[in-house]
A and B are shown apart, each in its own frame.
Chain A
Amino acid sequence: MNEGLAIRTRGLTRDFGALRAVDHVDLDVPRSRIYGFLGPNGSGKSTTIRMLCGLLTPTEGSATVLGHAIPAEAEALRRKVGYMTQKFSLYEDLTVRENLDFMAEVYALRRARKRDRVDTISERYGLTRLLGQRAGTLSGGQKQRLALGAALLHDPELLFLDEPTSAVDPENRRAFWESLFDLVEAGTTILVSTHYMDEAERCHELAILDQGRLAASGSPQDLARDIDARVVLLRTDRPRSAGKALHAEPWVLSVAQVGNELRVLADKAQEDAVAAVAARVRAAGYEVAHCESVPASLEDVFVAATLPNRTARRERAA
């Protein structure tokens, strides 16, 4: 078994009745890294995390987490992982301190260690002044810090964060991510799901999930370099109409308007995409002010990887 891997899955699959929520996913998550799950709602991020925590039994496939086979050895894993659920799942009718004490006791920390950890954690995550407040009355950002702190009380080797920043303002999100890098430097492995591009961009590695399938995986840089499309930026006087004209072309994968510009993803088979895009727009009768090839962003990667009818378009193009 690979020593450097925190998580390894092969063909991991989960069905809910007729619905295949996770479809043969292969993951290799290295240790001491932030590994991201990027995907739209319903793409199977939570389901995958729940299987890796031993909360759900896989329908098919295998998974090894910190050297333990899942779900058979899930119990042995409990002490080594922390889990921050997508929905706030601490007790809203208990105070911050009561919640932290409770979680520490459930992890059976000794009294002195419990006090020590609760103090350290509440200081690190700015909870000290909130200790006496009911968790239900906290703001989104405060709840998130409490949930993260609670998941870290027992010093887990591996931390699962399921969309941790969905109810948090941008400034708090920044601070939150800084704290994640602190943890990684101390040796923790973090698996975090998100649907924010800027967050995905900060991960060491990430997996793009689409309808339960692994659409692409790798570092954000590698993913951008290896994107299966050509990216063309176009400035025109009639962006909406030009966009519609382009979209009708079988070799155009997607068109997105950004301000006055159009960001066009063209099929890789289209050798000179810049010329083809400009020609198509002019042919439709609109002016082309500027047209150039640009490096792919993570959003381009995501769009290219999750196109719904990619193969169908290919066949039409051929």
Chain B
Amino acid sequence: MKFLHRIGAVAAKEVRQLRRDRLSFGMIVALPIMQLLLFGYAINMDPRHLSAAVADLSGTAASRQYVHDLAQSQVIDIKHQVGSAEALEALMRAGQVSVGIYLPPDFERRLAQPDRAAGQLLIDGSDTVVQAAAASLVSPARTAPVADAPPTLEIRTYYNPERRSPVNTVPGLIGIILTMTMTLFTAVAIVRERERGNLELLITTPIRSWELMVAKILPYIFIGLVQASLIFWLGDSLFRVPMRGDWLDAYAVILLFIVANLALGLMISTLASNQFQAMQMTFFILLPSILLSGFMFPFDGMPRAAQWIAEVLPMTHFMRLIRGIVLRGAELGELRGELAALGAFLAIALTVAVRRFDKTLD
């Protein structure tokens, strides 16, 4: 079992060096937390003073009081008073308001009826921040609170192709963090060793190249799992991100994705001749992963060419897998295609890396 001995020696050394590199070690934990808060709160944040327009067709004291109460919340600033629903829609189409309040002529009578909404809240859903904030407006009390009654205003969301929210963002964030750290850490760990001349010494020892590769990525597999767990935990406690699928499925997918990114990192390390190049190549992968994978923008809305590029990125497939499992409770069997794509990526990256990671300096 000499090879286990050697792998253990290199892996232990790797961990020791990482622990001593305070900054990198801190990044392992700080990066996910920072990103989570950034993305989570950027989306969840409570905007105020959204421009609003009111079409109050009933014009009674009660309706005026109701509009006044809404304005008091400071979520909306009432900029326009119009006379019809059509006028409200026109303002919204033009982008002049993002919230419209429609109170029908029989508003007062409807308020007393527990089985139907009294009016409508029109929301420009193209911005999730706006959508979330405006939706909070519907809670102001009806005159006669009744259990299970519909809210006073019925929400109608406009222009929202895909409803996104922190819940939707957090699982994807796991993918971004893993792409960033796994790829960069392995690539840099190996390139640095070559740059500093350590590799020249290592390859004259009996350690085999596959042993060296395994030993180098082993600690990072563990680190990746810790990062994913951290995001799950924070996502649950801060944003109530649900887990509708199976934990085991989620972790299996995460593990596959981690290994795929480590293989990518190895591949980069065989192509880059210094740490800076390794960093550049990582960002070359990372940027499209953030922008094209469906994490930031809905996949369906992207141009065809961007979609093709996205299909090549492991992140795109991971995004579909993890959202499917976490948010829709999908089972692995239903996501076979995505699993296969991720597996194929892993196989290719690993093959290239192993073939190029020769134990010579040629």
| A interface residues (Cβ-Cβ under 8 A, vs B) | 50, 53-57, 71, 75, 78-79, 81, 83, 85, 87-94, 98, 102-103, 105-108
Q: Does B360 contact A (CB under 8 A)?
A: yes
B202 touches A106 (CB 8 A): yes
Bitwise interface map of B from 1 to 42 toward A, beta carbon under 8 Å scored 1, else 0:
010011011100100110011000000000000000000000
**B198 adjacent to chain A (CB < 8 Å):** yes
Interface of A is mostly: loop
| Chain A residues whose C-beta falls within 8 Å of the C-beta of B8 in the assembled complex | 105
Rounded to whole angstroms, the CA-CA distance of A71 and B203 in the bound complex is 13
Task: Render B178-219 as a binary contact track against A, CB cut-off 8 A, 1 for contact.
Answer: 000000000000000000111011111111100000000000
Using Cβ atoms and an 8 Å threshold, which residues of chain A touch B196? 89, 92
CA distance A90 to B196 in the complex (A): 9
Say yes or no: A83 contacts B204, CB within 8 Å.
yes
The interface residues of chain B lying within 8 Å CB-to-CB of A54 are 204, 360
**Chain A, residue nearest B362 (CB):** A57
Q: Which of B16, B201, B202 touches A98 (beta carbons < 8 Å)?
A: B16
Distance of A55 Cα from B202 Cα, bound (Å): 10
- For the complex, is B361 an interface residue (Cβ under 8 Å from A)? yes
- Chain A min CB distance to B148 (Å): 64
**Chain B neighbourhood of A55, CB < 8 A:** 200, 203-204, 360-361
Count B interface residues, CB 8 Å: 26
The answer on a CB contact under 8 Å between B6 and A108 is yes
A78 in contact with B360 given A85-B200, A98-B16, A105-B9 (CB within 8 Å): no
Complex alpha-carbon distance, A91 and B205, angstroms: 15
* Nearest-neighbor residue (CB-CB) of A110 within chain B: B5
Asked whether, in the complex, the Cβ of A103 is within 8 Å of the Cβ of B200, the reply is no
Contact of B205 among A56, A78, A88 (CB under 8 A): A78
Compute how far the CA of A50 lies from the CA of B8 in the bound complex, rounded to whole angstroms.
27
B21 to chain A, nearest CB (A): 7
B206's contact among A90, A102, A106, by CB below 8 Å, is which?
A: A106
In chain A, what residue has the closest Cβ to B202?
A: A106
Residues of A contacting B206 with CB < 8 Å? 75, 78-79, 106-108
**Smallest CB separation, A190 vs chain B (Å):** 16
* B205–A106 CB distance below 8 A: yes
How far is A286 from B269 in the complex, measured between Cα atoms in Å?
A: 66
Sample of 13 more A-B contacts, CB < 8 Å, known A50-B200, A81-B204 = A50-B361, A55-B203, A75-B208, A83-B201, A87-B197, A90-B201, A91-B198, A94-B17, A98-B13, A102-B9, A106-B10, A106-B206, A108-B2
In the complex, chain A residues whose CB is within 8 Å of the CB of B200: 50, 55, 85, 89
A93 lies within 8 A of B198 (CB): no
Q: Tell me the smallest distance from the CB of A91 to a CB of chain B, in Å.
A: 6
> Can you list 26 A-B pairs, Cβ within 8 angstroms, ordered by A?
A50-B200, A54-B204, A55-B203, A55-B360, A55-B361, A56-B360, A56-B361, A57-B360, A57-B362, A75-B206, A83-B204, A87-B197, A89-B198, A90-B201, A92-B196, A93-B20, A94-B13, A94-B16, A98-B13, A105-B5, A105-B9, A106-B6, A106-B205, A106-B207, A108-B5, A108-B206
